[in-house]
Chains A and B, each alone.
Chain A
Amino acid sequence: AQSVTQLDSQVPVFEEAPVELRCNYSSSVSVYLFWYVQYPNQGLQLLLKYLSGSTLVKGINGFEAEFNKSQTSFHLRKPSVHISDTAEYFCAVLYNTDKLIFGTGTRLQVFP
Chain B
Amino acid sequence: ETGVTQSPTHLIKTRGQQVTLRCSSQSGHNTVSWYQQALGQGPQFIFQYYREEENGRGNFPPRFSGLQFPNYSSELNVNALELDDSALYLCASSLGAGEVETQYFGPGTRLLVL
Contact = CB atoms under 8 A, between A and B. Distances in A.
A76 B102 CA distance: 18
Contacts of B108: 42-43
Interface stretch (A11-19, A62-70, A89-97): A89-97
A96 B56 CA distance: 9
Interface residues of A, number: 24
A102 interface: yes
A42 B92 CA distance: 13
A62 to B, nearest CB: 20
B56 A45 contact: no
A15 B105 CA distance: 28
Contacts of B61: none
A103 B42 CA distance: 6
Closest 7 CB pairs of A and B: A102-B42, A99-B45, A98-B56, A44-B105, A43-B107, A43-B105, A98-B48
